[in-house]
Chains A and B, each alone.
Chain A
Amino acid sequence: MKLDLTKDFAEYAKDLNQASRDANIQKAMARAVKSYRDTTAETMKRYPHTPDLALEVQGIKTNAIENNPDLLQQAMASVERNKGKAFYAKDAEAALALAAQIIGKGKTVVKGKSMLGEEIHLREYLEEQGTEVWETDLGEFILQLKKERPMHILSPAIHVPREQVAEIFSKFFGKEVPPDIAAEVAQVREFMRDKYFTADVGISGANVVAADTGAMVIIENEGNVRLSTGAPPVHIVMVGIEKIVPTFSDAMKVAEVTWRYAQYGIPGYVNIISGPSKTGDIEKVTTYGAHGPKEFYVIFVDNGRSLMARDERFSQALHCLRCGGCMYECPVFQVTAGHFGYTYLGGIGSIWTAFVSGGLEKAAPLLYTCLRCGRCVERCPMSINVPEMVGQLRKMIVNGEQIGDGDLTLAATVGNASQALSS
């Protein structure tokens, strides 16, 4: 098979150049990088145990990825024990089909921010199915209106300044919204409030999953996740299988390291959700759907992750906590934002692109953009060696190797896992 990427590279180079000349991107990134570095330095000083905790979490994640198939079984059993319903989706299609089946026709969905959602194009898919979907994270909502993809995993609209937000909102809400951040936020709050309480389904991701208890840990600041997972009668969690760790206390450690490296001393909210809402207040009879959702579903998505887990050259990429710290230190990202990316962004994003979202073809230009300078490794709480993996993938491209070449165990493992689920 032949694949000519010369045009892709040329167009991509133009896009990078354009981004690096875009005054909005430069202004926003300069602010973001400075704020990230200052806040993180201050936060680390206040919580000096963090680097040691990060080392401990490296151990937790390494073990968890090695034992992922077992932990997945455990986590699914825990969810079921908690009166939720657990599913395993081997790829994006399976995940989307499951979600669509649970949601049903003609419904309204409020959605929390999720990179997995971006990976499988969840919103676009549901909208095609006739479902009304609202992104409740402010940044994602701006991009939903702007019809653009996220430019940072935590601050998706990092590249859009308030003036532009005001223009977008004025058009959408059909009235003058001033370029004042407080006014912009208030406008969305008012609009979204109604959506939370009329939506049929809330969808969220999860930052960490504890296998022993089936607890989903979701970190947030806006409060949109509390509302979208608490108000509608149905809650669906869609989460990558790499997020599972053995115990509840492991999950707390992972969560703390995640938010600390995402520049928070403590985030506004940490949601821990492990099943449908219930009460036993009347005659000790357990009844579901008290104030929160009556139905609780978890879809564990693989979509290339188990392939990564089994390849010792790349399994460390699954340790990524998505704190986003690396991106602020990346010299390319600092001038291009998410233009250095496909769905997943930056150097680590090029590895993820190759395995779960686009394949080597889409990853190739990103892989050759990475400077292999290694500063991301210094920042990364998991010390993920991105330059090493970028080198390996460049070698694979040059040699004409494919992701998963020679992985004979894949079919067998995936087959077994699906079987175990349906039984």
Chain B
Amino acid sequence: MAVETKLPPVLDIIRSNIVKYGNPLAMKGSEVASWAKGLNLPKRGDILFYTGGEYQLLPFIDSLVKTMTHIDQGSKGFSLMMGVRNILDKAGFNAEKVYASVLAKDRERYNRVCNKAAHILQRLGYDLCYPGDEELYSGALLYELGFWEDLKEYAQKVVDMIERTGAKTIVCLSPHAAEVLKLIYPQMVPGFSAEIKTFVEMVWEQRDKLPAIPTSKPVVIHDSCRLARELEVDEEIRDILQAVGVPIVEAYRNKKWTTCCGGPSKLLFPELSHTMGSRRVDELEETGAEIILTSCPYCLASLEGGQAKGDKTTVEDLIEFLYRGFAA
């Protein structure tokens, strides 16, 4: 007998935003692609630069979570509010308007991550293409949350988008996108066979061309679960840092034993997620390193959120850190 189960509303909001708008928070394509303005990246080419919109939506996820932390998700008020948001979304949720004043700085920073990543790859000799406002989110959350039937349909749209670019290789900035495209899409879209690479792997192949980053202070690497376990990319990050002359200290739990940043439970259990993020920051800070590096948008946001007030450490994405070498 079929049972229709009503789960917390946030799950269905995320689901329907992805399915309807190609993005978990129903951001506009132009908003997702705004980082690429002025770069004139071609829409077709051999290597597709794939942001999946994930770094771009980080500041908005945090706003959503901040709202949820203060509101009981089982309450009528919450459903009502999410309903209003949904109505707004029907015209395309202009998140910028809603949160602009609070988060302009964050938005700028996370948009710049995409920009810096493209810059680094280009300088390493890769010719990138980018579909601009046609870019769609990978659907990783549909897989994660159990909406596999939706993903089957949605994945086809993403594959069509990829095929229009003519690319043979897809560079994913987010390990979540890389995981779902590499390991799940082949089961859902027959014949899908594009080569899926993470940003880290692409940089690793050309690491000899990276400019050195002058520093004597060691960094600590927070391995993302997806990257270290599902995709088995961990030594590559160490090799890259060695190539740019940066000393590394290792956390007690690292590589395939890495500790989750708590990010996955942000939507349903925000307080718990925050606790786990703080604990991971503590583990990383025990090494004495002042810079924490990661290579995943959600880890980046969770670890930053987990820092205590007055923490001396900074959390950076590997992209931001490597860009220092080019900016110097």
Contact = CB atoms under 8 A, between A and B. Distances in A.
B73 A13 contact: yes
Contact of A364 (B7, B73, B264): B7
A372 to B, nearest CB: 6
Contacts of A361: 5
**In the complex, which range does the number of interface residues on chain A fall in?**
35 or more
B147 interface: yes
Contact of B257 (A7, A378, A396): A378
A3 B268 contact: no
Nearest to A12: B269
A5 interface: yes
Contacts of B225: 371, 373-375
Given A371-B260, A374-B225, A402 B3 contact: yes
A5 B272 contact: no
Contact of A373 (B75, B147, B264, B279): B264
A331 B265 CA distance: 11
A378 B256 contact: yes
B125 interface: no
Interface in B120-173: 143-149
B4 A400 contact: yes
B6 A2 contact: yes
A402 B1 contact: yes
Nearest to A11: B74
Given A13-B73, A20-B272, A335-B279, A400 B257 contact: no
A400 B271 contact: no
Interface in B243-271: 256-260, 262, 264-265, 268-269, 271
Interface in A369-423: 369, 371-375, 377-378, 391, 393-402
Nearest to B2: A400
B183 to A, nearest CB: 11
A375 B143 CA distance: 19
B269 A13 contact: yes
A397 B3 CA distance: 8
A288 interface: no
A9 B3 contact: no
B272 A16 contact: yes
Nearest to A334: B279
Nearest to A365: B268
B288 interface: no
B3 A1 contact: yes
Given A371-B260, A378-B257, A395-B146, A335 B272 contact: yes
B286 interface: no
A7 B268 contact: no
Given A331-B262, A369-B265, A372-B264, A17 B73 contact: no
A20 B271 contact: yes
A391 B3 contact: no
B9 A6 contact: yes
A394 B146 contact: yes
B271 to A, nearest CB: 5
B268 to A, nearest CB: 6
A397 B276 contact: no
Contacts of B280: 331
B34 interface: no
A2 B3 CA distance: 6
Interface in B1-27: 1-9
Contacts of A6: 6-9, 73-74
A386 to B, nearest CB: 12
A397 B264 contact: no
A336 B272 contact: yes
Given A332-B272, A400-B3, A9 B146 contact: no
B258 A375 contact: yes
A4 interface: yes
Given A335-B275, A335-B276, A371 B262 contact: yes
Interface centre among B5, B72, B276 (most CB of A within 10 A): B5
Contact of B2 (A4, A360, A401): A401
A356 B89 CA distance: 42
A240 to B, nearest CB: 26
A10 interface: yes
Interface of B: 1-9, 72-75, 143-149, 225, 229-230, 256-260, 262, 264-265, 268-269, 271-272, 275-276, 279-280
Interface of A: 1-7, 9-11, 13, 16-17, 20, 329, 331-332, 334-336, 360-361, 364, 368-369, 371-375, 377-378, 391, 393-402
Given A397-B146, A399-B148, 9 more contacts: A2-B5, A5-B5, A13-B268, A20-B272, A371-B265, A373-B264, A375-B258, A398-B146, A401-B2
28 contacts: A1-B1, A2-B4, A3-B5, A5-B5, A5-B6, A5-B8, A9-B8, A10-B8, A13-B73, A13-B268, A13-B272, A17-B271, A20-B272, A331-B260, A331-B276, A331-B280, A360-B3, A361-B5, A364-B5, A368-B268, A369-B269, A372-B144, A375-B259, A375-B260, A378-B257, A397-B146, A398-B145, A401-B2
Top-8 shortest CB links A-B: A394-B146, A10-B74, A373-B260, A398-B146, A400-B2, A4-B6, A373-B225, A371-B264
